[in-house]
Structure 1
């Protein structure tokens, strides 16, 4: 084997291990967080619709005060709620205002999820391409079974 091949092989492996795989993990984690946010927004919209449909203007609930410690709370007027709009900011909305705002938030999250998904696809394609380069550097024949599965 040529002395140049091991050095080139090491560089390709280093690119995968030190750059692409950590980028893939970060992008996947980011997308998972966005999925969680999307579920929270969807649940909030459904809860507001239920409150509105059932004309519930007061209620008792459990409130997380931190570190999964909960206190029982009485909400005397549910018709005004605070909605997390991102970056730690909360805005007071009526039910109708919140129901007008939430679809735009859901659309934004859906776009961000799609962007993360595309980034993940590109990273995976880059990794696969580099593995093909490595296979060629090492003169390893293509696996005929891999081709059959793709077709």
Structure 2
């Protein structure tokens, strides 16, 4: 095989391994983080809905709080009608439960759109990898029906 072709094949393989597969791993990591965020918001939404349906928001409730290293203490929340939500950059704002549900629904929609965009980016990167592999096969003269 021609040394120039071997060099091109090596460059393509290096690009796949060093750039595209690394990009794919980063995108997958971001996707997992966004999915975890959505799950957390859905769980919070469920808790708020349960509070509203059982009137716990007015009567309060008892719970156990993890103070670190799986050590729990019992806590009593006398008024659960308001909640603090992280709005970003470590800032928390107090909302009523109804207001919190509106904010949570907006955040879930935003995260779902980001997930769609990440999935498209992952598909695009996978397509680039496949395209380069086809080009490598063409250069090697071993192209089969794909």
Fold match (TM-score > 0.5) = yes
The verdict on how the C-alpha distance between 1:134 and 1:69 changes in structure 2, with shifts beyond 3 A counting, is farther
CA distance in 2 between partners of 1:81 and 1:91 (Å): 8
Cα RMSD after superposing both structures: 1.5
**Aligned residue pair count:** 144
The gaps in structure 1 that reach 5 residues or longer are none
Q: Which residue of 2 aligns with 1:118?
A: 120
Q: Which runs of 4+ in 1 moved over 6 A?
A: none
Q: Which residue of 2 aligns with 1:59?
A: 61
CA distance in 1 between partners of 2:16 and 2:100 (Å): 45
Report how far residue 35 of structure 1 moved: 0.4
Does the residue aligned with 1:91 lie in a helix, a strand or coil?
A: strand
The gaps in structure 2 that reach 5 residues or longer are none
The verdict on how the C-alpha distance between 1:118 and 1:66 changes in structure 2, with shifts beyond 3 A counting, is farther
Report how far residue 66 of structure 1 moved: 4.4
Q: Which residue of 2 aligns with 1:41?
A: 41
TM-score relative to the length of structure 2: 0.91
Bigger shift: residues 80-89 or 28-37:
80-89
The verdict on how the C-alpha distance between 1:19 and 1:3 changes in structure 2, with shifts beyond 3 A counting, is same
Deviation by residue 1:53-95 (Cα, 9 ceiling, x = unmatched): 1101311223334455543322121111111223322221111
